[in-house]
Amino acid sequence: MAPPRMDFRTAVFFLLTTSCIASAFACFVGSFGIPGLRRVTSPAYRASLASAGIAFAYRLLYSSKLEKRDFASARKLVATQTSTNGFHYLLYIACFWMAPRPVPTVLAPLALCAGLQWITIAHKHFAHTRFYGTLKLAALHARAQEGMMQAMMTCATMEISMAMVLVMELFTPARSVARFVAYANYLRMRYACDDDTVFRIKYTYMNSGFYHREFWKKIGEGAGPIVDRLGPVKGVVDAVKRWFTAGLKNKSGAKTA
């Protein structure tokens, strides 16, 4: 049986995810300071961010369809698209594109998602080829499917952990309050995100917001007892928590209204 023919959209995603993964790998290798390879760190970092960004923007573009040519339909489309993983990751990319120096760990969630998309396409269109068997990609595809929940949890963990990098950066000459505020709003959006598709892959379990809430829950369980003993600080933390979780509450209220 002949494999299905790769359409244009699939080809675009295959090329862009390949570029994202290869560039991220080159960036990580270059970041170790190996002579002759150090110079590739910055261009590879930008290339990986750009490849993922173009893929997310492309999906947003071709999936943007107005029901009617009126303001209400346009408003609904904007609300729908700005709550997707694709739009959120474009914000993520923008936050770290502005960074004064490459931060290789930023690429981990993007490369992980790109890897899941890449192996899915490879399994569908190249399973009959010799290189697929030689590289044992069938086993990799099976592990990717089984471990998707863990992979999405890893992405959420990495995204939230990057906030600490920006907090520490506030105490250096490279600080950017604007980038920190933008990233705080990004994480707030992720907390309430109900999208279960990244690139063109549908999650096998739950959605992005679920994994972010699970990690924040773990942080709360560990830090809660300490915060409770800090008196006035607890009031500040509670106020921030109310602001941070308001997006999820607003969504829940809209669904039940």
Residue 31 structural domain: 8-256
Q: Which residues lie across from 198 on neighbouring strands? A: 201
For residue 38, being part of any structural domain is answered with: yes
For residue 33, being part of any structural domain is answered with: yes
- For the chain, how many structural domains are there in total? 1
Spatial separation of the C-alpha atoms in residues 193 and 126, rounded to whole Å: 33
For residue 183, being part of any structural domain is answered with: yes
For residue 2, being part of any structural domain is answered with: no
Q: What is the pLDDT of residues 85-122, one digit of tens each?
A: 999 999 999 999 988 788 899 999 999 999 999 999 99
Q: What is the pLDDT of residues 128-160, one digit of tens each?
A: 888 888 888 899 999 998 999 999 999 999 999
For residue 1, being part of any structural domain is answered with: no
For residue 217, being part of any structural domain is answered with: yes
Q: What is the pLDDT of residues 47-66, one digit of tens each?
A: 999 999 999 999 999 998 88
Is the four-CA dihedral 130, 131, 132, 135 of positive or negative sign?
positive
For residue 239, being part of any structural domain is answered with: yes
For residue 174, being part of any structural domain is answered with: yes
Q: What is the mean pLDDT of residues 69-82?
A: 86
Question: What does the pLDDT read at residue 257?
Answer: 39
Question: What does the pLDDT read at residue 256?
Answer: 40
Q: What is the mean pLDDT of residues 217-224?
A: 88
Question: What does the pLDDT read at residue 226?
Answer: 85
DSSP string, 6-67: P-HHHHHHHHHHHHHHHHHHHHHHHTTT-TTTGGGHHHHHHHHHHHHHHHHHHHHHHT---S
